[in-house]
Structure formats: structure tokens, C-alpha cells
Structure 1
Amino acid sequence: MKELEGMKVIVAGAGIGGLAAAKELGKAGAEVTVYERADSVDEMRYPWHDDVQPEAFARAGLDVPEGSFRKKNWTFVTPDGAVRRMYEAEEKADFSVWRR
């Protein structure tokens, strides 16, 4: 018998987290219903940037998308508060590509 057999679960939101939760709950035996307020898939797109190596566009025969920018300088803050910086030469820096 599955751990959540017979349990009914409602997941609010069909985003990445909601769908992942619904999948795992279903695998554990729950009867899952997902509710989403968006009327269409187009309304559910999330605005984020993907980092793409510069040569990827050339290999694919594509122009760099409008609005993309090079990510030359990175700053990382570790959980203990230490700051680490990374610098890339312009020609090697990844492009940050708007994904909407």
C-alpha cells in the first residue's frame, strides 16, 4: 500500500513547484487535483533569464536574441556571508537570454 493511499490533495498553482509536488504526491498514492488561475498556458510563462555560452548561437546559426546581455562579473555570497567574485573576459562571458 502506498503511503498516501486514499488521501485527497489540492495543489494551488500549476507552476514548476506545483506540478512537481502533484507528481510526487500522486506517486505516493494521493488523489491529486491541481488548480491554476491562469486561463491559458501563455499566461503561465515565468520571466527569467537563461545563461547561454556565446558559441552556442554561432553553432546553431542564430543571432543573439535582442535584449540579451553579457554576464561578465558575478558575485556569490555563501551561507556564512563570505563574498566571492568571478570575472570573465568580454568574449568568453555567457549571454543572459530573456526567456519569456
Structure 2
Amino acid sequence: MISDIAAWFITLFVLSPIQADVQERMQGANASAQSIQQSQQCITAQGPKLIQRAGEDPSWAIATAVGYTIGWTSPSQLLDANDPNCAELTRLLQGNEGEEANS
């Protein structure tokens, strides 16, 4: 039961906001259809891994959800940069994080 709650936390407080954030950033960057497709494949591949990790380590799930919600954890930290579908998305997210820090 605790693992189900942890998975719910990750889905509600991390994955859903990341999907919305990625969609907004991709539209703002006028990304190509291929880039959008790769980002969707990245999230589709990484989402179940994050949910599985949350189920195995509920304290990680809660800490990650809180960290992401208050801005201590960035989306790029949660995605696998070694996944070819995530590489461009990770670069885009890291680039925007640098711009936000400079503002």
C-alpha cells in the first residue's frame, strides 16, 4: 500500500507537471516534430522507471516530489541523459534552468 501511495505521489507531483512543462517548453522553443516525438518517448520510457523506483523507495518518492514541487529538483535530474530520446530534452531543460537562474 505504501508503494502505491509513493507511485501516486510521483505521478501526481512529478510526472504530470514534467509532461506539462515539457510540452510548454517545446512549444516555446518551436521544436520540430521529431524533437517533440523524442521527448514524448523519453517521458514514456522514464515514467515507469520513476514509478518503479518510487514503489521500491517511498522515502525517495516523497523527497523527490517535495523537491520538484519547491524547485530543488529539476526535471533534467530525473531523466536519463544516456537515453537517446532524452538527450535533446535534457539539454533543453538544462538550458532553460540556466536562463531562469540568470533572471
TM-score (norm 2): 0.21
Q: Which has the larger radius of gyration?
A: 1
- Structure number having the greater helix percentage: 2
- Structure number having the greater strand percentage: 1
